[in-house]
């Protein structure tokens, strides 16, 4: 798979790549609205691929929905608000956000539009939980694994999180479906104390793009140095 960021500019590129038969990891998804736009781009791309006569079964995609960075940013804002009510909401944003993203996934891939593509051999764009390492040591080190277990998902764990899960993670089955109402209530509670969800996810997307760009530039610099040393 190639990686394409889930920015507004990246959406048409996602569709174009899939229409050409190229499998895509859509990365840097933070918001529920953007996730729906990504799934729309995926389905449109597969529809175009079908029109182009491509084998839909050969095209794969994941939607990388970032988790821990949401808690890190929201918790920082809650601390700045400084009330007891705000403090009681720490650590609830990221899991709630991810669970509602899975609810959207179920809705989109249960639609008649998707069923037509599935009948033609397509496989769904799987939700991928990214950024699942715990940044706050006061939280359980496996929370972004054990609290986000659901069918057809992928969890890309850092090595420390993988080892922690293998050592003491308690996987008790599906921990996503059935909790949608509580997830929505958690996001509503954050709004009620003054945390602007739209501003949080906008900041995280912009910051994520900058970090990816710096990593790409560092890679190019490293290659240039190696080539120059030959």
135 is catalytic: no
pLDDT at 129 over 80: yes
What average pLDDT is seen over the chain?
A: 96
pLDDT at 230 over 70: no
Number of domains in the chain: 1
What is the pTM (predicted TM-score) of this model? 0.93
Taking residues 135-140, what's their average pLDDT?
95
Is-contact 22 58, C-beta < 8 A? Answer: no
Share of the chain above pLDDT 90, in %: 92
Which residue range is the domain that position 20 belongs to? Answer: 2-228
* Per-residue three-class SS string for 32-75: HHHHHHHHHHHHHHHHHHHHCCCCHHHCCEEEEEECHHHHHHHH
Domain of 205, CATH number, reads 3.20.20.70
Q: Could you say which of 3, 115, 135, 211 is catalytic?
A: 3
Q: Cite the beta strand spans of 42-116 per DSSP E.
A: 61-66
Give the Cα-Cα-Cα angle 75, 133, 127 (nearest 5 degrees).
95
CA atoms within 13 A on the CB side of 59: 29
């Amino acid at each position: 798979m190639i990686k394409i960021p889930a920015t507004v500019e990246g959406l048409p590129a996602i569709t174009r790549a899939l229409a050409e038969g190229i499998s895509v990891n859509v990365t840097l998804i933070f918001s529920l609205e953007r996730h729906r736009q990504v799934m729309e781009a995926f389905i449109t791309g597969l529809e175009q691929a079908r029109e182009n006569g491509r084998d839909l079964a050969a095209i794969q995609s994941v939607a990388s929905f970032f988790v821990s960075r949401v808690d890190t940013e929201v918790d920082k804002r809650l601390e700045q608000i400084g009330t007891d009510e705000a403090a009681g909401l720490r650590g609830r944003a990221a899991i709630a956000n991810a669970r509602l993203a899975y609810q959207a996934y179920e809705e989109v891939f249960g639609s008649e539009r998707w069923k037509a593509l599935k009948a033609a051999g397509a496989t769904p764009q799987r939700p991928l939980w990214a950024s699942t390492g715990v940044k706050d040591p006061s939280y359980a080190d496996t929370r972004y694994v054990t609290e986000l277990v659901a069918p057809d998902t992928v969890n890309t764990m850092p090595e420390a999180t993988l080892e922690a899960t293998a050592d003491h993670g308690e996987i008790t089955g599906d921990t996503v479906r059935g909790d949608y109402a509580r997830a929505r209530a958690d996001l509503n509670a954050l709004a009620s104390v003054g945390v602007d969800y739209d501003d949080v996810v906008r900041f995280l997307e912009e910051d994520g793009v900058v970090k990816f760009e710096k990593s790409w530039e560092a890679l190019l610099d490293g290659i240039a140095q190696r080539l120059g040393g030959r």
